[in-house]
Amino acid sequence: MAAAAVQHLAGHEAVAARYRDVDRAYGETRDLRLLGFMFFLVSDCILFSSFIFAYVYLRVSAPTWPPIVDGHQLPWFDTSFAAMNSVVLFGSGVTMHFALENWKHLNTRKFNGWLIATIVLGIGFLLGQAHEYSVVNISWQGSTMGASFFTLTGMHGFHVFIGVCYLAILGIQANRGVYTSSKYFGLTAGTLYWHFVDVIWVALFSLFYLW
Amino acid sequence: MHAGTSTTHDAHDVHDHIHPPPEGFVRKYVFSLDHKVIGFQYFFTGLLIMFIAGSFAELVRLQLTDPKGAIMSHQAYNTMFTMHGTAMVWLVLIPLVTGALGNFVMPLQIGARDVAFPWLNMASFWILPLAALILFSSLLFGGPHAGWTEYPPISLADGTAGALWCAAIFTIGISSTMTGLNFMVTIMKMRAPGMTWTRMPLFVWATFATALMNMIATVALSAAVGALFLEHVFNVPFYDAARGGSAVLYEHMFWFYSHPAVYIFIIPAFGVVSEVIPTFSRKPIFGYKMIAFSSMAIAILAFTVWAHHMFPSGLAPWLQLPFMILTYAIGIPTGIKIFSWMATLWGGRIHFTTSMLYALGFLITFTFGGITGVFLASVPVDLHAHGTYFVVGHFHYVVAGGAVMGFLAAIPYWYPKATGRMLSERLGQLGFWLFFIGLNGTFLPMHWLGLEGMPRRYASYVDFAKAVPDAVFWNQFETAFSFLMMASIGLLAFNVIWSLRHGKVAGINPWGARTLEWTISSPPPYYNFKKVPEVYGRPYDFDKPLPYRNTDNELDAFPEYGKTVMPTPQPVGAGV
Amino acid sequence: MAQRIVTRPNDVRFKGLGPGFWPVTMVLTLLSIVNALYFLYGSIDWIMPGASQPVTDRASDIDGLFKFMAVFGGAIMLFVAGYVIYFAIAFRARSSDSPDAVGVQIHDAPKLELWWTVLPTLLLIVLTGLSIVVWYKIQFGTAAPGLTTEVIGHQFYFEYRYPGLKTSVFSKTSPMHLPVGVPVRLLITSTDVIHQFWVPEIRLKAAAVPGLVQNLNFTPLRTGTFDVACSEFCGVDHSLMHGKLVIEPVAAFKKWLDSENKTAAAAGGAINLAAGTPATGQALFAQKCAACHQIAPFEQKLVGPGLLHITDDPAHPALVTGKTPTPEHIAEILQNGFTGPIGTMPNRQANGLSNTDIANLVAYLSSLK
């Protein structure tokens, strides 16, 4: 019963022509991994957003802020040191940007320089956080202020630490010739991740030190 | 933006060439990168855990045959319903509908050779047995007791078992998030040439909507149980009222995920029904665009209704209002789907295969569950019904009568494609009737028991039995019918295994269906498609030739029901 | 070049909307009308207790909403199930069909789709409006309360506090009392974990959340005795957390409050620990304490710690009040109770213990070696 059929073709040919090249048939690899990595950053963002929601909820529903523990009101955070530490971190974002730009233009030595600067600044930030933790006069367990501060900045610090390790590995890989001037997705991912860590810090700094 | 990748001959590309076949038992079946094998792994693991979680449910039902509690202590009972719910939600339902079905079917339906990130896919699967191990190990410490929701402060009394519960949920959350991410990129970037968004099969739309929710919502759950874990182990006060924390905060964080979670269960089932009904009615799906877009609408609205689980729980009164309104609103796209499926049945040539029976049953039981949901959406009625068996009845109708029924429709439908054999129709039909009758008998009486005064999570109900003497009969009635459901799943397991050897050999397209997976052999080769097929239209027009070009096999222009594909001398859709 | 679409011939073999479509529709309409009449005029007491004689003003509002939803929800269910079954039968593939037989190749019907979107939306808008009216009445009440009562959840009993009553009333030993016809506000909270105060006939519940106070406002309309149940999982004995609510005329309520005041005053006096007998204490323990404590080593917690060797073990941990485990300090806890971060030891009133009861229990615990 299968009669010969004429397929309605106007419009279809145009669509198919765009995909005639079999190499491009399944979408481009560059988009795949970049998209995947961006989605990963989105989900990481939601993780931070959820804890930020918890912090805002607890702060807004508390009778006083800082909360009163054992009859004493906890002190506000000291903004000046944290502000300096933030400059260190944002600076590392700038250096990372230059590292990637230099890689694209095949300046391996300059790339290495900027990458090392980024790593050093990142470690500097972590040391600054360690100092802040030792100086801040609240405990993780004593109040919701401590709970939210240490949990959120701790998660962030963990992300910075992973980032520093990742950048170091990227540096080693780059110098071993794994990446070329046109194929360097790992470096792009590292840069994006590092900028993400900066963006999260903007939010945390504003929420804990400026609010 | 140039992201530093190139399109050819990258070590990561499985997409533009066919990679050599995997070798060795371990690479082929244990640590396989093949989405089809991973789908199988999810299927068997999920089914195994379903038996365990289902047995816990049977113990719960046996306990309730006597108002004093027939077989176990309160503490043991509390562990039983907690583990039943926890395992079913995270270790059975989500892995089966996304991991098993989504993995196996979706790449085939879009004409892809695998998912976007096969290694991530494999890792996502292996997290499942790990999470199951962590969860079940909590039983060594007495098990968690406070229900699958594990609200603090009471859940903090669970000690080590509670911390392990948190760890298990956090772990499986990673798997869900990664799978969601993987599927989204796959669908967005790896469809066959010519397959525009509005030419995608509806199961793919459903998988996309589900993947979106999986990717965004699961992380919120990780935060909720992560904070609970910190409170368990390090005494960090997120939820402890004495130190400024809030138990209601946990509920917000938990339900922000858990409401989308229920749509994660059901939307793949919607997708399955959207495939099964047209195929076995031999006519196009009615209202393709509305069904596709309503899946996306539901996925987005799902994030706005979570507090309807919290109406009596301590919300500011004005907050109840928007959640009530949005919950009503989400009923509209769902209703549109039901009506569209019914219109698909109308005027068709309906074949009563096992899949179709489950799809028909789905239409009835899911609608009933949806209507009782509307009752619960109304704040005043919810203030009566919350925390009672009415809710237990409602969600089992939509979950067992919706998501599970959809899954059970998918199995006989795609089993022939996956294995090259047909499942036994006789056993399938018997299984359907056992499940359908069992489900209604078990969960219908819960509605009136709940409204009459039976709260949920009760290990004994002596006072309620005094107030409502019928309660004992109905509880025993429910228990009896629950065994029919267990029998049905047991029959399914037997059928699946028996048919591997003894099932009728299936051809390429035993159902005369029209989506891309039915253009390749059963089972497909590891690379799925040797040639990249080109797509010229939607797959649901039974009066038009198959809208594909460049398929691996020469196909009938009009696949027929019950006939396996025969090659025809004329190429399909040849230009004139 | 002319584009032609050539399709397969349509295999439609029925007239109109299908064989028997209109008779089926009539039957479904009739059934829906019967459903509506039943819910509007019949007795729904079997599913909503006390519906025919509403116990509170809010209860009749909620029942009204319920009936509205049952009428329309029932109709929708009948039509969906009815049409699904009818279509399955009317449009089944016959064995005489050729294998390539297909159904009516329609893709959409915009006018039909418009109606089936607009009508349910209108229905839901009406339902929303009705729900908002009832919601408003529940949340904000109409009259100022004539009586404010506190309901405090504990593991595993409710404590009720009335204005003018110096002590509390405990659900394990006494029902909650409310006067009929007086608008009442319940202030609900908890001292330990989340509970939920629910009286089915009242149709309202509220979670008892530690650190929060919730309101329930209603006016009891008729007298009677009703069940109170906890409906949020709160621990091992959640299923046993029950009580009674007595709604009575105002005069009887006042009399009850007076008698409670007198009982509270009379319950003082010293406890004579020397007069306690271990055997009586043991029987009492099984009745009052075994739900939460085992006679087992300290670490074997049920809800509260194990009580073996509580007095004869020099290394036994301090009591929850921080004091050493002597008979006097044990008696103190039995008198006053204790509320901690997770868990409450009920006081003597909550447990219904008299002075002799306390003496007997202490004697029993001291006898455990």
B32-549 CATH, one of 3.40.1190.20, 3.30.1330.20, 3.40.920.10, 1.20.210.10? 1.20.210.10
Question: At A129, which helix (H) or strand (E)?
Answer: helix A108-135
Q: What does the angle CA B462 – CA B467 – CA B471 come to, to the nearest 5 degrees?
A: 70
pLDDT of residue B565: 52
Q: Whole-model pTM?
A: 0.91
Mean pLDDT for C9-33 is 87
Helix (H, G, I), strand (E, B) or coil at C343: strand
Q: Is C14 near chain B, with CB under 8 Å? A: yes
Percent above pLDDT 70 for chain C: 94
Q: Is the ipTM of this complex over 0.90?
A: yes
Given a cut of 50, whether residue B192 has pLDDT beyond it is: yes
Q: Considering the domain boundaries, does residue A7 fall inside one? A: no
> For B428-487, what is each residue's pLDDT tens digit?
999 999 999 999 999 999 999 999 999 999 999 999 999 999 999 999 999 999 999 999
Residues of chain B with pLDDT > 90: what percent?
A: 86
The Cα–Cα gap between B27 and C310 comes to 61
Q: Which of A1-10, B112-121, B321-330, C99-108 has the lowest mean pLDDT?
A: A1-10
* Phi-psi region at B202: left, alpha or beta (left = phi > 0; alpha = psi -120 to 50): alpha
Residue A20 within any structural domain of the chain = no
Are B53 and B90 within 8 A, CB to CB?
no
The answer to the question of residue A4 being in a domain is no
Q: CB-based contacts of A31: which residues, under 8 Å, 6+ apart?
A: B189
Contact at CB, C7 and B460, closer than 8 angstroms: no
What confidence tier does C12 reach under pLDDT thresholds 50, 70, 90? low
Cβ–Cβ below 8 Å for C3 and A5: no
**A9–chain C nearest CA distance, Å:** 7
**Residue numbers of the domain that contains A41:** 29-210
B279 interfaces chain C, CB cutoff of 8 Å: no
Average pLDDT over all residues of chain B: 92
pLDDT tens-digit map of B314-372: 898 899 999 999 999 999 999 999 999 999 999 999 999 999 999 999 999 999 999 99
Is pLDDT larger for residue C265 or for residue B306?
B306
Which tens digit of pLDDT belongs to each residue from B285-294? 999 999 999 9
Alpha-carbon distance of B122 to B100, in angstroms, equals 12
B436 touches chain C (CB under 8 A): no
B189 in reach of chain A (CB within 8 A): yes
Residue B557 tokens, joined:
């222009």
Instruction: Go through B293-304 and write b for each residue having 16 or more CB atoms within 10 A of its CB, e for each that does not.
Output: bbbbbbbebbbb
Q: How many CA atoms lie within 13 A of B385 on its CB side?
A: 30
User: Region C238-263: what's the mean pLDDT?
Assistant: 93
pLDDT in tens, C310-339: 887 877 888 877 788 888 888 888 888 887
H-type helices in chain C, by residue range? 21-41, 57-90, 110-140, 250-266, 278-288, 327-336, 348-351, 355-367
C202, C239, C242: best mutation site toward chain B, by most B Cβ within 10 Å? Answer: C239
Find out whether B484 and B437 touch, Cβ atoms under 8 Å.
yes
Contact check, Cβ <8 Å, B147/C233: yes
Tell me what pLDDT residue C304 has: 82
Greater pLDDT, C2 or A119? A119
Query: For residue C287, what are the contacts with CB-CB under 8 A and spacing of at least 6?
Result: none
Distances (CA, A) of B421 to B46, B69, B276, B428, C21: 21, 46, 18, 14, 39
List all residues 6 or more positions away from C97 whose beta carbon is below 8 Å from its beta carbon.
Answer: B349, C11
pLDDT at C345: 83
Three-state secondary structure call for residue C313:
coil
DSSP letter string, C140-203: H-SSPPSEEEEEEEETTEEEEE-TT-SS-EETTTS-EEEETTS-EEEEEEESSS-EEEEEGGGT
The pairs formed by A114-120 with CB atoms below 8 angstroms and a separation of 24 or more are A115/A167, A115/A170, A115/A171, A115/A174, A116/A171, A117/A92, A118/A92, A118/A167, A118/A194, A119/A164, A119/A167, A119/A168, A119/A171
Could you give the CA distance from residue B565 to residue B561 in angstroms, rounded to a whole number? 10
**Distance, C-alpha B409 to centroid of its chain:** 12
- Quick check: is A8 in a domain? no
Predicted pLDDT of residue C10: 55
Give the one of B317, B453, B542 whose C-beta lies nearest to C139's C-beta: B317
In a mutational test of the A interface, the residue from B536, B549, B563 whose CB has the highest number of chain A CBs within 10 Å is: B536
Number of domains in chain A: 1
Better pLDDT: B552 or C208: C208
Q: Choose between C261 and B116: higher pLDDT.
A: B116
Instruction: Output the pLDDT for position A23.
Output: 37
H or E element in which residue B535 lies: strand B534-535
> Residues 6 or more apart from B106 whose CB is under 8 A from it?
B115, B183, B186, B187, B203, B204, B207
- What domains lie within chain C, and their CATH numbers? 21-94+102-140 (1.10.287.90), 147-266 (2.60.40.420), 273-367 (1.10.760.10)
Which pLDDT score is estimated for C308? 85
Q: How far apart are CA B452 and CA B388, in angstroms?
A: 9
Q: Are C156 and C238 in contact (CB under 8 A)?
A: yes
* Binary contact (C6, A5; C-beta < 8 A): yes
Whether the per-residue pLDDT at C180 is higher than 90: the answer is yes
Which two three-digit tokens encode residue C304?
């509260």
Give residue C280's pLDDT: 85
How far is the alpha carbon of C231 from chain B, nearest alpha carbon, in Å? 5
What is the C-alpha separation between B227 and B245, in angstroms, rounded?
11
Contacts of B563 in chain C (CB under 8 A): 99
Contact (CB<8Å) A28/B189: yes
Q: A6-20, A71-85, A139-153, B560-574 — which is least confidently predicted?
A: A6-20
Burial class (CB in 10 A: 0-12, 13-18, 19+), B515: buried
pLDDT at C152 over 80: yes
For residue B449, which of B33, B171, B67 has the smallest C-alpha distance?
Answer: B67
Arithmetic mean of pLDDT, B210-218: 97
Q: What is the distance in angstroms between the CA of the first residue and the CA of the last residue of chain A?
A: 75
CA angle at residue C205 from B243 to A144, to 5 degrees? 15
- What distance in Å separates residue B121's CA from the closest CA in chain C? 36
Average pLDDT over residues A115-119: 96
User: How high is the pLDDT of residue B569?
Assistant: 39
Three-state secondary-structure class, residue C44 = coil
Which two three-digit tokens encode residue B569? Answer: 């001398």
CB-based contact, A40 to chain B, within 8 Å: yes
Q: Looking at the complex, does the CB of residue A17 fall below 8 Å from at least one CB of chain B?
A: no
How many other β-carbons are positioned within 10 Å of the β-carbon of residue A60?
Answer: 8
Mean pLDDT of B125-154: 96
Which DSSP string do the residues of B207-253 spell out, in sequence order?
Answer: HHHHHHHHHHHHHHHHHHHHHHHHHHHH---SS-GGGT--HHHHHHH
From C253's Cα to the closest Cα of chain B, the distance in A is: 24
Q: For C99, which residue in chain A has the nearest alpha carbon?
A: A1
Mutate to test the interface with C, among B251, B282, B514 (most CBs of C within 10 A): B282
Distance of residue B514 Cα from the nearest chain A Cα, in angstroms: 15
Which tokens in the block code for residue C316? 């036994």
Residues A143-172 pLDDT 10s: 999 999 999 999 999 999 999 999 999 999
Give the CATH number for residue A88.
1.20.120.80
- The answer to whether the CB atoms of B246 and A61 lie below 8 A apart is yes
Q: Using CB atoms, which residue from A15, A29, A42 is nearest to B194?
A: A15
Could you say which residues from 209 to 268 on chain B have a Cβ atom under 8 Å away from some Cβ of chain C? 240-242, 245-248
The yes-or-no verdict on residue A10 having pLDDT over 90 is no
The yes-or-no verdict on residue B106 having pLDDT over 80 is yes
Backbone angles phi, psi at C158, to 5 degrees: -105, 140
On whether the CB atoms of residues C221 and C54 are closer than 8 A, the answer is: yes
Residue at B183: amino acid letter: F
Residue with the two structure tokens 């007791």? B145
The predicted structure's pLDDT at residue A6: 37
Query: Are A19 and B534 in contact, with CB atoms under 8 Å apart?
Result: yes
User: For residues C270 and C355, what is the distance between their CA atoms, to the nearest angstrom?
Assistant: 8
Q: Is C233 on the interface with B (CB under 8 A)?
A: yes
Question: Closest Cα of chain A to C140: distance in Å?
Answer: 22
- R_g of chain B computed on alpha carbons: 24
Q: Identify the closest residue of chain B to A16 by CA–CA distance.
A: B194
Q: Which chains pack against C, by 3+ Cβ pairs within 8 A? A: A, B
The span from the CA of C131 to the CA of C138, in Å, is 10
CA gap B345, B549 in Å, rounded? 29
Interface of C with B in 51-70 (CB under 8 A): 58, 61-62, 65-66, 69
Query: Which residue's structure tokens are 């989105």?
Result: A42
User: How far apart, in whole angstroms, are the C-alpha atoms of residue A145 and residue A138?
Assistant: 8
Q: Residue B145 in contact with residue C236, Cβ under 8 Å?
A: yes
Does residue B88 surpass a pLDDT of 50? yes
CA angle at C73 for the pair C72 and C75, rounded to the nearest 5°: 65
pLDDT of residue C21: 95
Arithmetic mean of pLDDT, A73-90? 94
- Interstrand relation of C147-154 and C242-248 (parallel, antiparallel or unpaired): unpaired
Q: Rounded mean pLDDT of C49-70?
A: 93
Give the span between the Cα atoms of B258 and B274, in whole angstroms: 25
Task: Let me know if residue A83 belongs to a domain.
Answer: yes
Phi, psi (5° rounding) for residue A103?
-60, -45
How close is the nearest chain A Cα to the Cα of B8, in Å?
7
What's the pLDDT score for residue C9? 56
* Residue whose structure tokens are 């509305």: B290
Q: How many CB atoms lie within 10 A of CB B142?
A: 16
Which residues of B fall within a CB distance of 8 Å from A9?
536, 575
